[in-house]
Amino acid sequence: MTVEESWEKIERWIAQHAPEEDPLPAPCTRADLERLYESVGEQLPEDVERSLLRHDGSGLTDIFPPGYTLLGIEDIVYHREIWLRYGALNDTNLKEGHKRFLVPFAALSVTQLLVDTRTGRLGWWDIEQCFHWEVGPL
């Protein structure tokens, strides 16, 4: 299933089962993406980019079970700065060279889902367990 097909399925489900939800955010622009790439120093995997070009995050609407919201451009920059400053600082689960390639794309409170910009591999971080790689594909 493509990113666009996934979004169409999500949009249909929301319209049918949760019409009172706030509307999903508008798409980001290519200029927004360029500012993001300048800020983080890396380009996101194509699927993440295509998702942002469909909707700049999910606002307050939970998209990933069990309640994650997708981050928009500004939130990606913000969460990455916070994660690098506090989360990745002394994380023994991470090699120092890997940290700059990890970018958060979804959040549930202080837990973040991160993508490795080199490989597309997913991981997560929270304050208690630190960083962990996803074992299998989502």
Instruction: Specify the pLDDT at position 84.
Output: 83
- Structure tokens, 25: 């955010």
Q: Please state, in angstroms and rounded to a whole number, the distance separating the CA atoms of residues 11 and 126.
A: 29
50, 37, 47, 58: which is closest to 115 by C-alpha? Answer: 47
List, in order, residues 6 or more apart from 64 with CB less than 8 Å away.
Answer: 70, 106, 113
Average pLDDT (108-119) is 89
In a 13 Å sphere around the CA of 84, the CA atoms on its Cβ side amount to: 17
- Could you read off the pLDDT of 51-64 as tens digits, one per residue? 999 999 999 888 87
pLDDT, averaged across the chain: 88
Average pLDDT (60-75) is 89
- Could you read off the pLDDT of 74-109 as tens digits, one per residue? 999 998 988 888 777 777 777 777 788 999 999 998
Instruction: Specify the pLDDT at position 133.
Output: 81
Domain ranges of the chain: 3-128
Instruction: Specify the pLDDT at position 136.
Output: 57
CATH architecture observed for domain 3-128? 3-Layer(aba) Sandwich (3.40)
Q: Which residue has the tokens 């997708």?
A: 70
Q: Please state, in angstroms and rounded to a whole number, the distance separating the CA atoms of residues 84 and 90.
A: 10
138, 136, 68: which is closest to 104 by C-alpha? Answer: 68
Q: What's the pTM value of the predicted model, to 2 decimals?
A: 0.88
pLDDT exceeds 60 at position 137: no
Neighbours of 107 (CB within 10 A): 22
